[in-house]
Structure 1
Amino acid sequence: MDPVMNRIMQAQELASSGDRAGARSAFENVWRDVGTDPLHVVTLAHYMADVQDDPAAELRWDLRALEAADSLTDARAQEHHSSLQVAGFYPSLHLNLAADYNKLGRVAEAHEHLTKAEGAAGTLTDDGYGRMIRGAIARLRAEFDRDH
């Protein structure tokens, strides 16, 4: 694994253990050094969004992640792990954006990204991660349909 991905994963371990402030600080340190590699940017921004307390900041990080994914190639992703395909990133990225926009009361944008997440979900494999993301999409759809 490359050194930047190691640092990102170490910061994510802090987030997973419940230390959101520590993770945010660690991610900020990595961000200063991350450069322009789209794999590094998409990974860091995707995780950084999850440790934000302000929904607008969360949205900004999730938008950075989506933008980076748009310039990421399968070949670059597979340098990190041979099973990765960029198409598999989009269900989660659009799900997060839908949730962000929903929190901010931006219903049309939330609906647009939720629909994109649903459309991209077919790229997910039938493993724990795929089931988790499909389940989260379904829960957000049910919440969205109930509230709007």
Structure 2
Amino acid sequence: MTTTPHGPDPTMEAIGRAVVEGRTGSIPSARRKLLNLWSEIGVTGDPLHRCSLAHYLADLYEDPAQALAWDVRALDAADAVTEQRAHEHHTDLHIAGFYPSLHLNLADDYRRLGSFEAATEHIHAAEEHAHHLPRDAYGASLRIALDEVAEAVSRRDTTKRPSAPGPTT
């Protein structure tokens, strides 16, 4: 896979650095960096930047209501990403492949908030888009997470899944 056919993208690189920082335990610093980038990008900035940043920023919040706000922004931005823009970032990238994860995150947020009907709607949306997932470890992990969230919804369980991304309490 070609990763950057049109040269480096400083904003995506900065998002990536903050994500790595957050995943290694520096949650407050990573969150601050992403929030600063969000201010620079703006609500009308590049939708790929907004989608990526909001998607990762949501994972840095333990509070499902705060995560939900960022996951909604990520989905809204994804709807504005063109296939051409996705290809500019990665030649093999397709925006359709974003939707299973975006809807999964929304389903999990709504579930954790006890809004099981909304969670079910997003589980169904994620399932409708699941055929766009790659047949690799990443795709398998999302399919497993989708099953976990659906099962938790059926049990009316609002506890955080052990496999969910983000800070641990």
TM range (shorter): over 0.9
Per the alignment, residue 86 of structure 2 pairs with 77
**Deviations, residues 63-83 of structure 1 (Å, cap 9, x unaligned):** 000000001111101111111
Please state whether the residue corresponding to 2:62 is helix, strand or coil. Answer: coil
Q: 1:98 & 1:53 partners in 2: Cα distance?
A: 15
Aligned to 1:34: 41
Q: What percent of counterpart residues are identical?
A: 47
Instruction: Output aligned runs, 1:1-148, within 5 Å.
Output: 1-35=8-42, 36-147=45-156
Structure 1 length normalisation: TM-score? 0.95
- How far apart in 2 are the matches of 1:142 and 1:101? 14
Maintained 8 Å contact 2:116/2:156: no
Could you tell which deviates more after superposition, 137-146 or 47-56? 137-146
Q: Deviations over 1:126-145 (max 9, x none)?
A: 01211111111011112222
Partners of 1:56 and 1:32 in 2: CA distance: 20
Q: For structure 2, which runs of at least 5 residues remain unmatched after alignment?
A: 1-7, 158-169
Q: Distance in 1 between matches of 2:143 and 2:61?
A: 23
Q: Quick one: distance in 1 between partners of 2:156 and 2:86? A: 37
- Asked if structure 1 preserves the Cα contact closer than 8 Å seen for 2:48 and 2:85, the reply is yes
Structure (1 or 2) with the greater helix fraction = 1
For structure 1, the 5+ residue unaligned runs are: none
Per-residue deviation at 1:108?
Answer: 0.8
Relative to structure 1, the CA distance from residue 7 to residue 73 in structure 2 (aligned partners, 3 Å threshold; closer, same or farther) is: same
Q: Supply the distance in 1 between the matched residues of 2:83 and 2:140 (Cα, whole angstroms).
A: 22
Over aligned residue pairs, what C-alpha RMSD do you find?
1.2
